[in-house]
């Protein structure tokens, strides 16, 4: 009964290869139509203005309304035979996800502009980009201590012209000084080897509208325990340093299952997941909230941010930063 199994497999292999070729041809046609739809949505969003599409998307609620309206045109039914009707929902969900990711990428590329790092910083800042004082007049607020002093010395290496220390009595005072403009930057501990991530301090960033622009790990004298300090600012203005760049954000999903699509989306745009943790309801104030970090070196950052802004209205930036270790800048 197994005499012709090799011939049968060859026939099936040829058939599936032809089926795959047909699928890819139709996929290309669908992608072309999706790109056309993305360009129509962009023209509606811009309404004849010469504004940059990404700037408008990141600052306008009306842009998301046009996006949602346009996305409805991509909806389709997964028509299958009776033998595969139970797979219809899975097929539709997979196709819809691919449509959305490509749709957002094409929107971000409307106009053919090449973006720089400063553009991403502007998109991720809820307010205006802060204009800092001349070199030598920059102040960093922090609560003095041995490890905090080491973190200050490391951060100051990456600020043009250096920085002056500005001592405060509490971490709340540090955030208040940065928020009010007394200091340009602040230093806050965000993780240590004994307690892990310090959630309460992340809440302070959100409360005062601050962003992480660099992380510094400081080791104790024995080299075993550590504390990670964040350099925070009123706008997303990453400092230049060697090491991978991290996009760190929080968002709320409709259901826990939505995390799968989000993680796949990050990979689609070339970002590599570094951390994804649920945020307790007591801290987030709502269910299905997550704290997520991606390495975005070499990623399509415009496409990824476009997708995050349009698909996830509860998206909020924690920071865009490079991580260093005390002493690395020596």
Per-residue pLDDT of 147-194, as tens digits, reads 999 999 999 999 988 899 999 999 999 999 999 999 999 999 999 999
Domain that holds residue 64: 5-113
Whether residue 270 is contained in a domain is answered as: yes
Select from 227, 233, 214, 191 the least CA-distant residue to 323. 214
What is d(CA 52, CA 158) in angstroms, rounded to the nearest whole number? 31
Whether residue 330 is contained in a domain is answered as: no
The two tokens of residue 21 are 């070729």
Whether residue 284 is contained in a domain is answered as: yes
Are 279 and 290 contacting, i.e. CB atoms less than 8 angstroms apart? yes
> Are residue 211 and residue 278 in the same domain, yes or no?
no
> Are residue 302 and residue 288 in the same domain, yes or no?
yes
The last residue of a domain, from among 234, 257, 279: 234
Longest CA–CA span in the chain (Å) reads 86
> Are residue 248 and residue 211 in the same domain, yes or no?
no
What pLDDT, in 10s, does the model give residues 45-77? 999 889 999 999 998 889 999 999 999 988 877
What pLDDT, in 10s, does the model give residues 81-113? 666 777 777 888 888 899 999 999 999 999 898
Q: How far is CA 64 from CA 83, 125, 306, in A?
A: 39, 18, 10
> Angle, to 10 degrees, between the axis of helix 88-108 and the axis of helix 301-311?
120
Whether residue 149 is contained in a domain is answered as: yes
E-strand ranges in 179-225 read 185-192, 196-197, 211-219
Q: Name, in order, each residue with C-beta under 8 angstroms of 237's C-beta and a sequence gap of 6 or more.
A: 121, 129, 130, 132, 213
> Are residue 99 and residue 146 in the same domain, yes or no?
no
What is d(CA 292, CA 290) in angstroms, rounded to the nearest whole number? 6
What phi and psi values does residue 215 have, to the nearest 5 degrees? Answer: -115, 145
> Are residue 152 and residue 204 in the same domain, yes or no?
yes
| 146 pLDDT higher than 90 | yes
> Are residue 87 and residue 171 in the same domain, yes or no?
no
> Are residue 125 and residue 270 in the same domain, yes or no?
yes
pLDDT of residue 75: 82
The last residue of a domain, from among 175, 209, 234: 234
pLDDT of residue 295: 96
pLDDT of residue 328: 57
> Are residue 136 and residue 215 in the same domain, yes or no?
yes
> Are residue 141 and residue 227 in the same domain, yes or no?
yes
Select from 118, 102, 110 the least CA-distant residue to 52. 110
Q: Higher model confidence: residue 144 or residue 135?
A: 144
Select from 191, 239, 195, 199 the least CA-distant residue to 217. 191
Question: What's the CATH code of the domain at 141?
Answer: 3.40.190.10
What pLDDT, in 10s, does the model give residues 189-243? 999 999 988 888 888 998 999 999 999 999 987 778 999 999 999 999 878 888 8
Letter string b/e over residues 191-217, b meaning 16 or more CB atoms within 10 A of that residue's CB: bbeeeeebbebbebbeebebbbbbbbb
Q: Name, in order, each residue with C-beta under 8 angstroms of 27's C-beta and a sequence gap of 6 or more.
A: none
Are 295 and 244 contacting, i.e. CB atoms less than 8 angstroms apart? yes
> In sequence order, what are the beta bridge partners of 188?
230
- Any idea what DSSP says for residue 181? T
Whether residue 329 is contained in a domain is answered as: no
Q: Higher model confidence: residue 18 or residue 259?
A: 259
The last residue of a domain, from among 113, 145, 178: 113
> Are residue 42 and residue 54 in the same domain, yes or no?
yes
Whether residue 142 is contained in a domain is answered as: yes
What is d(CA 301, CA 118) in angstroms, rounded to the nearest whole number? 12
pLDDT of residue 329: 47
Question: What's the CATH code of the domain at 286?
Answer: 3.30.70.260
> Are residue 295 and residue 178 in the same domain, yes or no?
no
What pLDDT, in 10s, does the model give residues 4-14? 677 778 888 88
Number of domains the chain contains? 3
Whether residue 125 is contained in a domain is answered as: yes
Classify residue 327 by burial, with Cβ atoms within 10 Å: 0-12, 13-18, 19+.
middle
pLDDT band at 134 (very low <50, low <70, confident <90, very high): low
pLDDT of residue 26: 81
What is d(CA 173, CA 166) in angstroms, rounded to the nearest whole number? 11
The two tokens of residue 99 are 């449509």
| 43 pLDDT higher than 90 | yes
| 287 pLDDT higher than 50 | yes
Whether residue 139 is contained in a domain is answered as: yes
Are 204 and 171 contacting, i.e. CB atoms less than 8 angstroms apart? yes
3-state secondary structure of 50: coil
DSSP structure string for 124-149: H-SSPPP----TT--EEEE---HHHH
> Are residue 120 and residue 262 in the same domain, yes or no?
yes
């Amino acid at each position: 009964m197994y005499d012709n199994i090799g011939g049968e497999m060859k026939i099936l292999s040829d058939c599936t290869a032809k089926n795959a070729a047909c699928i890819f041809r139709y996929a290309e046609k669908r992608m072309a139509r999706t790109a056309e739809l993305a360009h129509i949505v962009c023209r509606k969003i811009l309404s004849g203005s010469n504004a940059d599409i990404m700037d408008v998307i990141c600052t306008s609620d009306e842009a998301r309304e046009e996006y949602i309206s346009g996305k409805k045109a991509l909806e389709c039914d997964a028509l299958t035979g009776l033998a595969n009707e139970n797979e219809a929902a899975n097929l539709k969900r997979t196709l819809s996800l691919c449509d959305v990711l490509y749709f957002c990428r094409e929107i971000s590329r409307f106009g053919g502009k090449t973006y720089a790092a400063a553009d991403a910083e502007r998109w991720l800042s809820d307010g205006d980009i802060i204009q800092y004082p001349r070199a030598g007049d920059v102040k960093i607020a922090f609560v003095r201590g041995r490890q905090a002093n080491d973190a200050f010395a490391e951060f100051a290496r990456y600020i043009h012209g250096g920085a002056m220390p500005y001592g405060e009595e509490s971490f709340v005072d540090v955030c208040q000084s940065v928020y009010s403009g007394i200091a340009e930057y602040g230093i806050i501990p965000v993780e240590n080897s004994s307690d892990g991530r310090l959630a309460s301090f992340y809440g302070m960033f959100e409360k005062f509208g601050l962003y992480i622009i660099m992380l510094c790990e400081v080791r104790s004298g024995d080299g075993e325990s550590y504390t990670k300090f964040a350099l925070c600012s009123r706008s997303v203005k990453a400092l230049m340093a060697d090491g991978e760049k991290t996009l760190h954000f929080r968002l709320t999903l409709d259901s826990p299952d939505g995390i799968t699509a989000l993680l796949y989306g990050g990979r689609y745009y070339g970002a590599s997941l570094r951390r994804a943790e649920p945020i307790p309801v007591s801290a987030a104030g709502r269910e299905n909230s997550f704290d997520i970090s991606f390495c975005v070196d070499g990623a399509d950052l415009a496409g990824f941010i476009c997708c995050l802004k349009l698909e996830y209205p509860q998206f909020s930036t924690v920071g865009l930063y490079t991580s260093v270790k005390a002493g690395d800048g020596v």
